[in-house]
């Protein structure tokens, strides 16, 4: 319970502990001093010689022996002062005896009830005797003598009192014993409290602060994975939690920045490559295209001519010649396809963007590809029936969708499932193309948009489709994201297109075209 309190409460608790400790020590000392004081100031110590039963008896005996009451009022030899003196001495002896009795502890006093009774009888008798002596006219001598003898008997019955010094010593010893026990217990408690306070203060105040300090140093050295291991529900715990949150945020920002730097560098490399490809494409494709067209035409016309000329030649030779001619035609066709793509890449046919129904474009692509023979056994799903108008270059976006859907179907070997979804957001539209095909490694994902990157067998892929698609989408101010959980786990491409084209994007697109 105490551990869940704030540091302020813990410090107040520790201060209370110190006060208890001081109180215990001070209480013990004061108690000891008081006991010592009561011992040294005890009246029995000064008057320990006085007030014994023997003294009272001696005083009474003296009184009886020397008591000479006057026969008559005019008795000449009667010494009143002497008798009065003896009576006073007896009264004083009784007084001291009483004093000692009173000074005894309660228990001892109760044990001496007889002493009290005797004293209470002796003292009034003595006083009565003295007053009788001062009035000699009314005295009865025999009665007086009997009275004195009676008083002596009473005095002889007084119990002998225990030695007050012994009693005092016993009580002092008891006091000392309990005082000793109290001081030992108090000191042990104070020492335990002190040890507890030091350990507690170290564990719950110093150690957490040290841990925080160490955490701050490690984070300052760039170790953003480090978390301060403090869970205490006090101020230091709150500080550690805030510190860990701050480190987490730092880590997010750092990894975000890393990601951005990586993406930007990749983009830069890609743009440079694309620019160089564009530059090459503009020159080479144009130069190669014309000879390729010539090769194709001449081989076609040669084929027609040879068909007549080879009529007399044996069938085997004729078929070899014709096969070679067709190979020349198909390979030059393929080369033309590549140069066409390169030219597409280097310049756009139509840079104008207008409000187009992107759903209709996707439907068109799905219908077109669905009719292709090699994808007959694949399942292609697109279930959007309404319209979705955004500002795009319809021709280019169609090219992008054709490329992405064809790639997805290729990844399933033409017999899997490809689903196209259209997600409308406030500012943009997402086209998601998911397949359950071969999936991709991390390396493939990283190189996907590089020109000429392909995993398809030679002659089947150019490796230009995705770089062209990427360029088109970024020219629209959008982006392409790729997700795949690994080989054999399918892939998803997400194309994001803004609903409206910003002037700056359009301008950039125009500038990039001019540059190419």
Residue whose structure tokens are 């009474």 = 60
Question: Could you tell me the smallest distance in angstroms from the CB atom of residue 492 to ligand ADP?
Answer: 8
Judged by beta carbon, residue 326 or residue 374, the one nearer ligand ADP is 374
Judged by beta carbon, residue 108 or residue 368, the one nearer ligand ADP is 368
Which helix (H) or strand (E) segment is 491 a member of?
strand 491-498
3-class state of residue 404 by DSSP:
helix
Give the closest residue to 394 by CA, choosing from 350, 426, 424. 350
CA dihedral 445, 447, 451, 452 (to 10 degrees): -90
Judged by beta carbon, residue 234 or residue 435, the one nearer ligand ADP is 435
Question: Could you tell me the smallest distance in angstroms from the CB atom of residue 245 to ligand ADP?
Answer: 39
Say if CB 346 and CB 281 are below 8 A apart.
yes
Query: CA-to-CA distance for 369 and 405, rounded, in angstroms?
Result: 8
Give the closest residue to 240 by CA, choosing from 277, 207, 279, 201. 207
Distances (CA, A) of 376 to 368, 379, 460: 12, 8, 19
Question: Could you tell me the smallest distance in angstroms from the CB atom of residue 361 to ligand ADP?
Answer: 18
Query: CA-to-CA distance for 412 and 437, rounded, in angstroms?
Result: 4
Judged by beta carbon, residue 293 or residue 441, the one nearer ligand ADP is 441
Question: Could you tell me the smallest distance in angstroms from the CB atom of residue 407 to ligand ADP?
Answer: 3
> Residue 459: which region, alpha, beta or left (left: phi > 0; alpha: psi -120 to 50)?
left
Judged by beta carbon, residue 119 or residue 466, the one nearer ligand ADP is 466
Question: Could you tell me the smallest distance in angstroms from the CB atom of residue 444 to ligand ADP?
Answer: 6
Judged by beta carbon, residue 266 or residue 462, the one nearer ligand ADP is 462
Question: Could you tell me the smallest distance in angstroms from the CB atom of residue 439 to ligand ADP?
Answer: 6
Question: Could you tell me the smallest distance in angstroms from the CB atom of residue 360 to ligand ADP?
Answer: 23
Say if CB 305 and CB 369 are below 8 A apart.
no
Judged by beta carbon, residue 306 or residue 366, the one nearer ligand ADP is 366
Question: Could you tell me the smallest distance in angstroms from the CB atom of residue 340 to ligand ADP?
Answer: 14
Judged by beta carbon, residue 353 or residue 470, the one nearer ligand ADP is 470
Query: CA-to-CA distance for 466 and 403, rounded, in angstroms?
Result: 7
Judged by beta carbon, residue 3 or residue 487, the one nearer ligand ADP is 487
Question: Could you tell me the smallest distance in angstroms from the CB atom of residue 339 to ligand ADP?
Answer: 15
For 234-285, where are the alpha helices, taking DSSP H only? Answer: 235-280
Question: Could you tell me the smallest distance in angstroms from the CB atom of residue 496 to ligand ADP?
Answer: 17
Residues that bind ligand ADP (CB under 6 A): 403, 407-408, 411, 435, 437-438, 440, 444, 448, 453-456, 461-466, 491
Judged by beta carbon, residue 323 or residue 374, the one nearer ligand ADP is 374
Return the bridge partners of 391, or none.
Answer: 355
Question: Could you tell me the smallest distance in angstroms from the CB atom of residue 482 to ligand ADP?
Answer: 8
Q: 391: how many CB neighbours lie within 10 A of its CB?
A: 17
With 0-12 CB in 10 A as exposed, 13-18 as middle and 19+ as buried, what is 148? Answer: buried
What pairing do the DSSP bridges indicate for beta strands 379-381 and 417-424?
parallel
Judged by beta carbon, residue 175 or residue 271, the one nearer ligand ADP is 271
Q: Using a CB cutoff of 8 Å and minimum separation of 24, what contacts does 66-74 make? A: 67/144, 67/145, 67/148, 69/133, 69/136, 69/139, 69/141, 69/144, 69/145, 70/136, 70/139, 70/141, 71/141, 72/136, 73/136, 73/137
3-class state of residue 103 by DSSP:
helix
């Amino acid at each position: 319970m105490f551990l869940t309190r704030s540091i302020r409460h813990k410090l107040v608790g520790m201060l209370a502990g110190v006060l208890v400790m001081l109180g215990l020590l001070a209480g013990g000392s004061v108690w000891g001093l008081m006991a010592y004081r009561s011992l040294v100031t005890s009246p029995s110590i000064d008057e320990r010689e006085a007030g014994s039963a023997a003294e009272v008896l001696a005083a009474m005996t003296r009184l009886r022996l020397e008591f000479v009451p006057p026969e008559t009022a005019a008795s000449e030899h009667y010494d009143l002062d002497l008798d009065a003196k003896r009576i006073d001495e007896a009264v004083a002896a009784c007084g001291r005896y009483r004093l000692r009795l009173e000074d005894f502890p309660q228990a001892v006093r109760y044990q001496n009830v007889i002493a009290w009774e005797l004293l209470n009888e002796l003292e009034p008798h003595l006083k009565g005797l003295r007053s009788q002596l001062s009035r000699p006219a009314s005295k009865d001598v025999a009665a007086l003598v009997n009275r004195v003898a009676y008083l002596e008997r009473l005095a002889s019955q007084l119990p002998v009192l225990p030695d007050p010094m012994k009693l005092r010593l016993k009580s002092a010893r008891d006091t000392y014993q309990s005082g000793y026990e109290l001081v030992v217990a108090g000191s042990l408690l104070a020492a335990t409290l002190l040890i507890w306070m030091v350990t507690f203060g170290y564990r719950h105040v110093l150690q957490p602060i040290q841990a925080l300090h160490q955490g701050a140093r490690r984070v300052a050295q760039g170790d953003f994975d480090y978390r301060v291991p403090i869970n205490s529900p006090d101020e230091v715990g709150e500080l550690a939690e805030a510190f860990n949150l701050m480190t987490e945020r730092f880590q997010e920002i750092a990894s975000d920045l890393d990601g951005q730097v990586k993406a930007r560098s990749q983009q830069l490399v890609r743009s440079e490559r694309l620019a160089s490809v564009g530059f090459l494409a503009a020159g080479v494709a144009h130069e190669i295209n014309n000879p390729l067209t010539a090769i194709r035409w001449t081989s076609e016309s040669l084929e027609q001519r040879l068909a007549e000329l080879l009529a007399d030649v044996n069938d085997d030779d004729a078929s070899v010649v014709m096969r070679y001619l067709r190979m020349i035609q198909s390979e030059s066709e393929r080369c033309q396809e590549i140069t066409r793509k390169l030219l597409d890449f280097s310049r756009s046919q139509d840079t104008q963007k207008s409000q187009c129904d992107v759903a209709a474009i996707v439907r068109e692509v799905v219908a077109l590809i669905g009719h292709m023979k090699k994808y007959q056994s694949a399942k292609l799903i697109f279930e959007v029936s309404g319209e979705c108008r955004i500002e795009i270059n319809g021709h280019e976006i169609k090219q992008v969708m054709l490329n992405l859907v064809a790639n997805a179907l290729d990844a399933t070997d033409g017999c899997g499932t490809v689903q196209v979804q259209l997600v409308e957001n406030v500012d943009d539209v997402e086209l998601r193309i998911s397949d359950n095909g071969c999936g991709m490694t991390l390396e493939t994902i990283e190189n996907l948009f590089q020109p000429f990157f392909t995993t398809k067998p030679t002659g089947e892929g150019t490796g230009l489709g995705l770089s062209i698609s990427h360029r088109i989408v970024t020219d629209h101010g959008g982006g392409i994201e790729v997700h795949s959980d690994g080989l054999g786990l399918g892939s998803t491409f997400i194309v994001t297109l803004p609903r409206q084209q910003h002037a700056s994007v359009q301008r950039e697109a125009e500038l990039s075209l001019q540059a190419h």
